[in-house]
Amino acid sequence: MKFFLDSANLQELRAAAAWGILDGVTTNPSLIAKEGVPVEEQVRRICDLIDGDVSAEVLSLSTQEMIAEGRSLAKIHKNVVVKIPLIAEGVQAIHALAKEGIRVNVTLCFSAAQALVAAKAGAYMVSPFVGRVDDLGLSGVEMVRDILTIYRNYGFQTQVLAASCRGPRHVIEVAKAGAHIVTLPFKVLEQMFCHPLTEKGLEQFLSDHRKAFDLVTA
Ligand code: E4P
């Protein structure tokens, strides 16, 4: 399973990359806006830092503008994956960009039906928003499971990137379902390996060792 960081913050990206468990990055207009840097510039900086897929989202809403913006985002770096929202105008843009060999991450996916359309249009990845579906009182994990079943049934190559994950529980559930990629906010990535019992156990081991060592050398 690939781990992506859901962040446009260079400090967070550097820290996650240093752990050696980062395979790529997803950004969205809200995340880039937080950094206060123009989209193209920030995407370039991220690509210089991380060797893996970096998703960058179009801001346009018409098909032709999405295609033009997608082309120019893809030119920033070979690792850029163009994010297109799953709206009617987007479907045509996904198809056109995919035909040109531009990799598309179809974003704002909230149902298996939308994911099926994304795959038919030629998406490289689809991003079902697990946490936001849970917020509606439905199951985001169930949606991911359905998408994977449908893709397997028909041999679609589109990768399922579980997005909007709120904690390690979501990650484990989508991993059990077989999601190809999960994108995580920095805090959730940290939560994946921090455990209070690990801290407590380590403290105990070191204290036992110190006591025994002190006895031998006393
Ligand atoms: C995915 O690519 C999105 O940027 C992201 O996962 C959305 O997460 P949120 O629902 O926590 O904003």
Contact in structure between 59 and 85 (CB atoms under 8 Å): no
Give domain 2-217's CATH architecture.
Answer: Alpha-Beta Barrel (3.20)
How many angstroms separate the alpha carbon of residue 146 from the centre of ligand 1? 20
Residue 218 pLDDT exceeds 70: no
Residue 125 pLDDT exceeds 70: yes
pLDDT in tens, 151-204: 999 999 999 999 999 999 999 999 999 999 999 999 999 999 999 999 999 999
211: annotated active-site residue = no
How many angstroms separate the alpha carbon of residue 178 from the centre of ligand 1? 19
pLDDT in tens, 52-62: 999 999 999 99
Q: What is the rounded distance in angstroms from the CA atom of residue 160 to the CA atom of residue 175?
A: 11
User: Where are the domains positioned within the chain?
Assistant: 2-217
